[in-house]
Chain A
Amino acid sequence: EVQLVESGGGLVQPGASLKLSCVASGFTFSDYWMSWVRQTPGKTMEWIGDIKYDGSYTNYAPSLKNRFTISRDNAKSTLYLQMSNVRSEDTATYYCTRAGGILRDWGQGVMVTVSS
């Protein structure tokens, strides 16, 4: 059974940095592109970006690419999202998803609240 477990969320002040993690199991992590998607409190879905199976290539939403970085550690079956200079509009639930274009499996999500 595929499992994706996100962690690292919480309350963070504007301008701070935060790193989310997603531990994967139930499949060969190093065989798959992985993605991050977020859902705002108003339920809007926003694609953040994805990363190639070997970590050699990433794509980002243009509005986020200067502040967000996706990386992975295949030895640990873990996906990361480094968020910097966070803003109130980054308040959302962040999902780790398996694969690139077709988002086959989703984690349970982790909430990030940006507030002073």
Chain B
Amino acid sequence: DIVMTQGALPNPVPSGESASITCQSSKSLLHSNGKTYLNWYLQRPGQSPQLLIYWMSTRASGVSDRFSGSGSGTDFTLKISSVEAEDVGVYYCQQFLEYPRTFGGGTKLELK
């Protein structure tokens, strides 16, 4: 199985500051078709997860442009510019290059 490892944030993050969440995969998620099979989700407190970013860097419909995804084949970053109260929650990365699909352990964002 592909292991997904997420980094921690230096919480709490001051409102208006930027935050970067890291995710590392045990195998390259870059396919020969040029696409990187990596998604990001946000789970706000008491809510279901929602899709933020897919194909490593494509924002899902309705997602603020304060969110951006980047990375290489095995190292990925979700950047949130100017953190707001609504960004609080747990962020998960997930690979879908291979079965079984696997998730990172989650990164909690708290606001100062």
Nearest Cβ in chain A — how far from B15, in angstroms? 24
Size bin of chain B's contact surface: 20 to 34
Q: Which residue of B lies closest to A103 (CB)?
A: B51
Asked if A61 contacts B48 (CB within 8 A), the reply is: no
Which of B16-24, B64-72, B73-81, B88-96 lines the interface with chain A?
B88-96
Q: Which residue of B lies closest to A105 (CB)?
A: B51
Size bin of chain A's contact surface: 20 to 34
Question: With the chains together, A61 CA to B101 CA distance in Å?
Answer: 8
Asked if A106 contacts B100 (CB within 8 A), the reply is: no
Asked if B90 contacts A103 (CB within 8 A), the reply is: no
Shortest 8 CB-CB distances between A and B: which pairs?
A101-B96, A45-B103, A47-B101, A106-B48, A61-B100, A102-B54, A59-B99, A104-B51
Chain A contact residues, CB within 8 Å of chain B: 35, 43-47, 49-50, 59-62, 95, 100-109
